[in-house]
Structure 1
Amino acid sequence: MTVQMPISARTFVLVFAVLCLGQMAAAQTRYGPANTKSVPSAQNDEPPAMGVTEWLQRMHAGARQRSYVGTFVVSAPGGDLSSARIWHVRDGDHQLERIEALSGPPRSTFRRNRSVMTFLPEAKVVKVEKRENLDLFPNLPDKPDSSVGDYYDVRAIGKDRVAGFDADVVQLVPRDGLRFGYRIWSERRSGLVVKLQTVDSDTRVVEQSAFSELQLDAPVKAQALAQMMANTSGYRIEKLELERSTAQDEGWMLRTPVAGFKPRSFFRRPALPSGDGKSPKPEATTVQWTFSDGLATVSLFIERYDPARTPSDGVLTIGATNAIRRRLPAPASDWWLTAVGEVPQQTLNAFAQSLARTR
């Protein structure tokens, strides 16, 4: 699940690490925060009695309809910590955001609706792309799929305060082992998510994200963000062109669907240039097949297997995000898979075992 009100960046970082090893392209990002210990007990002033879909629709609206400025921090038990400064404004039908990384390499990401620009000042590069799925929290389409309630139960926990705001606290409990559970703090008046804990099947917190400081209804100027986004002077612009396709057209299928996860999109992605600067061969193109259960998202990146540049099989975990890399078994052994998602590793294994070549 991507907890961002802005564009997500956490899975993107993980995938980017995988890409450096496996020469693949990725998508998805995230930022989040700190204190993992306090979980409020139920009180008389309990959150409203609503179903899973109603809660998610409320949070979904809160992330889009309010202007705000805040510092968002994400942490994991292993000590990984990242933070970002976020400016968000709704200007009529348009959503504009600026995300300034406060940890790691300098990076500024701007979004206007589906147009995304990432400024990398050290490299003097701006990466430009259109994103089909914006990975806002909750990760729901414009018309949320009511079937999400088939895979999660909701339990009211009570109320708490986060960054100075009163918050309702609920827990989303998965009905199977294919997805994580979540404790969610949402601002009482707007529904804006101000804190999230991702928990595993043993109720251990595997990742926490929260605002450490937040100003709601902040005087964010849409025009100012748009001007900053357009100022590319001195930067080299790199456009990531995605070609819409289908699994059937590209020769892929899942022999057995993974319960609750529905296909969201299928794209052909341009291959990364080789180390010698030569243009990649057409057959080096990567395809990305994305699935979602309405909260959690899984991306399958499939490319030709190349023993000269493809790493060995492996797994990678950063907080709630897992990734697996493996060469597909015969008769698809000419292909290499990287599966990434904020789901348990067994879910990625289920996708990998079900993925099959149709031609």
Structure 2
Amino acid sequence: MVTWQGSSARWACGLLAGLVLCAGAQAAPSAPKPGSDALAFLQQVQQAARALDYSGIYVYQQGHILQASRLVHLVDGTGERERLEVLDGAPRECLRQNGVEQCLRPDHKLVIVQPARSDHFPGLLLGNAQAIATHYDWRASSRIYRIAGRECAMSELKARDHLRYSYRICTDAKTHLLLKSQTLDPAGHLVDQVAFSSIRMGSDVQPAALSSHWDTRDWQLVTESSAPTDLQAQGWRFTLPPGFQPVAELSRQIGPDHAVNQLVVSDGLAAISVFIETFDPKRDQNIRQGDLRQGAVNIYRMRLASFWLTAVGEAPAQTVRDLARAVQYVPQAAR
């Protein structure tokens, strides 16, 4: 059964492949012209997250829970490199180079090699973002705020329906790098937020900061692989919430005897994954079906035929639940 640990909300859901950008793209993006649309602005924010050099500590807040992480991001002749270290709780660290990521678990002396992700803070866009303007209203504020000692511009992406959350973001006034993001429920209440508490940019970021201090020579190496798959050909049918489009269909190998199929859908900002795995009576009989919630992330688990379905995503509980309940398995239709 797929399990999750409580971690950053929207950047823990997409499981999308890393985006490799050209080296040397260090110039600050130009400011959006008056009247430019939300997509052009958001693409600038995404470009800044992928192309700039920066390092700092960001804090994720969910209710009374705070979790700090140290992030180092550099673009050089080898492409995009990154080091993400969780500073609270059990030590964890992920080292990424382009599309490959190594996650270190010192408490288990374990190195997990897996496809890299590009959907964590300060990244913003997921999949095809063309429909964002259809489902969100973008409202930019003229006021200047300060986050981590830097001036930033506040704007809001307000959902036009109750199927998705709204977002309030503050982006660096010079580079457009995302410095703070807040998730708001349909009633306008704060669900969670993530923000840099300190940050360095440009030449202040040293390549040595990408190196881990852990000696992993005697640690166990585990490789998690994924490959594209055709879920419809296997007999699966999905009814997606309005505005959400398929981003990826994957078959993921987790351990030697555990395979999971995954559908990722997104409206450009929010992502929902549907995990499908064979029901194992010995392993899964005590797992509770129904709703779970971790900050902005809602989870819905259910049994369908001889399979476990788990829908997980940063969307209101009803949206995640409806997506899972609408899944059909039609084995006779499989090619």
TM-score range, shorter chain: 0.7 to 0.9
Equivalent residue in structure 1 for 2:41, among 39, 55, 59 = 55
Higher strand share: 2
* Structure 2 counterparts to residues 62-81 of structure 1, below 5 A: 62-77=48-63, 79-81=64-66
Q: What secondary structure does 1:122 align onto?
A: helix
| Structure 2 equivalent of residue 301 of structure 1 | 275
- The 1:12/1:140 distance shift into structure 2, 3 A limit, reads closer
Cα separation, 2, equivalents of 1:185 and 1:93: 30
* Structure 2 counterparts to residues 1-359 of structure 1, below 5 A: 10=8, 27=15, 49-77=35-63, 79-92=64-77, 94-131=79-116, 133-136=117-120, 137-141=123-127, 145-157=129-141, 158-222=143-207, 225=210, 228=212, 232-254=216-238, 256-272=239-255, 280=257, 285-310=259-284, 311-328=287-304, 333-359=305-331
Q: Which amino acid aligns with 2:299?
A: A
Cα separation, 2, equivalents of 1:229 and 1:269: 30
Q: How big is the shift at 1:135?
A: 1.0
Q: Which amino acid aligns with 2:236?
A: W
Cα separation, 2, equivalents of 1:121 and 1:296: 31
Cα separation, 2, equivalents of 1:201 and 1:253: 28
Q: How big is the shift at 1:74?
A: 0.5
* Unpaired segments ≥5 residues, structure 2: 1-6, 17-31
1:254-291 deviation per Cα after TM superposition (whole angstroms, max 9, x unaligned)? 1x33211111111112254xxxxxx63xxx52111111
* Unpaired segments ≥5 residues, structure 1: 1-8, 16-25, 29-45, 273-278
Q: How big is the shift at 1:236?
A: 1.2
Aligned identity (percent) is 32
**Aligned residue pairs: how many?**
305
| Structure 1 equivalent of residue 22 of structure 2 | none
Alignment RMSD, CA only?
A: 2.6
- The 1:345/1:47 distance shift into structure 2, 3 A limit, reads farther
Q: TM-score, normalised by structure 2?
A: 0.84
1:18-73 deviation per Cα after TM superposition (whole angstroms, max 9, x unaligned)? xxxxxxxx958xxxxxxxxxxxxxxxxx9954322012111001112211111000
In 2, are the aligned partners of 1:196 and 1:208 still within 8 Å (CA)? Answer: yes
Q: Which amino acid aligns with 2:311?
A: A
In 1, are the aligned partners of 2:15 and 2:119 still within 8 Å (CA)? Answer: no
| Structure 1 equivalent of residue 3 of structure 2 | none
In 2, are the aligned partners of 1:171 and 1:181 still within 8 Å (CA)? Answer: yes
In 1, are the aligned partners of 2:10 and 2:297 still within 8 Å (CA)? Answer: no
Q: How big is the shift at 1:154?
A: 0.4
Q: Which amino acid aligns with 2:302?
A: R
Q: TM-score, normalised by structure 1?
A: 0.78
Q: How big is the shift at 1:134?
A: 2.1
Cα separation, 2, equivalents of 1:180 and 1:109: 28
In 1, are the aligned partners of 2:10 and 2:296 still within 8 Å (CA)? Answer: no
